[in-house]
Amino acid sequence: MKVVSVPASLEERTFDALVQAVDAAAGGRALFDARHLRWVDPYGMLGLLAAGEVAGHGGERPVLQLPDSAEVTSYLGRMGFLTHAERIFELHGPARRGAEAASDVLLEITPITSHGDVHAVVDKVRERAGLILSRQLNYPFRDVVQFNVILSEVCQNILEHAGSGGWVAAQTYNWAKRLGRKVAVIAVMDLGVGFKGSLASAHAARYGDKWSDATALEAAFLHGITRFHDPGRGQGLQQIRRQVGRWGGKVSIRSGRAQIADVPDWDDAVPLMDDLPPFPGSQICIILPAKQVQEAT
């Protein structure tokens, strides 16, 4: 059995370490050692589920050693992670589930497998987003409505571009040290064909040898290129980028071997990274910071 060490802090910035470990463990049954996990956000949770699916493609279900921290394992339970992990992993360790779908969760891990799921997700988050985004993040009502539109667009992308199902999750945190205010972290992931595969039939030929994961991400994220020939179709990604930018937030998309991001002043991420450890599908992270009182008014 090959050991995959899960980083102590599992989020967008440390996901590549997990991917690299999964890649190194290919060819045998994998043991995901998450005993030392101390912090995980929605992106990290979905990333762990996706990595488990990839590791299990060889046949045997991977093992997940749950965190020693009762607080972390309880939080995983509240986010619905343990329920979904049971389908992917053989779970070892105390599964302190806590209360699933607790009131402090904006949107617990939710699978997206049909257009009906997208509407159900938006309906579910609408019930909570109004209170959490307005009371905790100081967003006015019009922005709460726009958030629901963004979430719907991102989830639709899974079905229209990925060629497979995926997951979505969101939660709020107090980033007192990193940003000095609260944020909402929204993650959407799938294990489908990725941006390069989705756009290849319509655009790969004119890029020739330059066609790559990074090129496909730049084409979609920066230039609004889509697989549709009809004007106006498939523009949701650029609309998301512009809206999140107006809110001072961050959007990053990882696909294949590349990652692209619209980076705000408060973050030090690299806008475009290439030659990353390969991973199927697309992984999207949206971070929305709380509005200052003067911004909200």
What's the rounded mean pLDDT across residues 150-157?
83
- pLDDT at position 132 is 82
- pLDDT at position 24 is 93
Per residue in 232-268, pLDDT tens? 444 568 888 999 999 999 999 999 999 999 999 999 9
The pLDDT of residue 100 is above 70:
no
What's the rounded mean pLDDT across residues 106-112?
91
The pLDDT of residue 295 is above 80:
no
Query: How many structural domains is the chain composed of?
Result: 2
Q: Same structural domain for residues 112 and 86? A: no
**Domain ends where: 68, 100, 132?**
100
Instruction: Give the type of residue at 25.
Output: A
pLDDT band, very low/low/confident/very high, at 152 (cuts 50, 70, 90): confident
**Domain ends where: 75, 100, 125?**
100
Q: Same structural domain for residues 281 and 224? A: yes
Q: Same structural domain for residues 168 and 26? A: no
Q: Same structural domain for residues 93 and 119? A: no
- pLDDT at position 231 is 43
Q: Same structural domain for residues 96 and 121? A: no
pLDDT band, very low/low/confident/very high, at 88 (cuts 50, 70, 90): very high
**Domain ends where: 100, 126, 150?**
100
Q: Same structural domain for residues 117 and 50? A: no
User: Of 213, 286, 221, whose CA–CA distance to 248 is shortest?
Assistant: 286
Q: Same structural domain for residues 259 and 169? A: yes
Structure-model confidence comparison of residues 148 and 63, the more confident one: 63
In whole numbers, what is the pLDDT of the chain averaged over residues?
88
pLDDT band, very low/low/confident/very high, at 48 (cuts 50, 70, 90): very high
Q: Same structural domain for residues 84 and 152? A: no
CATH code (residue 56): 3.30.750.24
Half-sphere exposure (Cβ direction) of 201: Cα atoms closer than 13 Å: 7
Per residue in 205-232, pLDDT tens? 888 988 999 999 998 888 877 764 444 4
- Could you tell me what percent of the chain has a pLDDT over 70? 90
**Angle between helix 15-24 and helix 42-55 axes, rounded to 10 deg:** 10
Q: Same structural domain for residues 80 and 134? A: no
Q: Same structural domain for residues 95 and 110? A: no
Per the structure, the complete domain to which residue 153 belongs is given by 103-297
CA dist 70 and 76 (Å) reads 10
CA dist 89 and 75 (Å) reads 18
Q: Same structural domain for residues 150 and 82? A: no
CATH code (residue 289): 3.30.565.10
pLDDT band, very low/low/confident/very high, at 104 (cuts 50, 70, 90): low
Q: Same structural domain for residues 80 and 107? A: no
Residue 63 bridge partners (DSSP): 31, 90
What's the rounded mean pLDDT across residues 37-58?
96
- pTM (predicted TM-score): 0.92
